Amino acid sequence: MTFNLKLEKFDVAVKIIVIKEMRDLGLREVKELVEKTLVVVKKQLTKEEAEKIATKLKEIRATIVLKRH
């Protein structure tokens, strides 16, 4: 079973940093993602991976949604 991690609410400055660190994207690609709402940050994560990332995002007061894939 895998999970998708979706970023729902956030501080824009923090969101850019989080997405860039997790997705290894360039600045242009990160800006395009940031302008969208409800961004799926990571797909097909194990439960352990999803929980680890979710914990980090919650520490910076982001609201996330984990959905089974």
Residue 44: pLDDT band (50, 70, 90) is very high
Class of domain 3-68: alpha beta
Domain ranges in the chain?
3-68
> What is the DSSP track for the chain?
--EEEEEEE--HHHHHHHHHHHH---HHHHHHHHTSSSEEEEEEE-HHHHHHHHHHHHHTT-EEEEEE-
Q: What is the pTM of this model?
A: 0.65
pLDDT, position 46: 94
For 28-43, the pLDDT digits (tens) are 887 777 777 677 878 9
Write down the mean pLDDT value for the chain: 81
pLDDT, position 37: 62
Asked if the model's pLDDT at residue 6 lies above 80, the reply is: yes
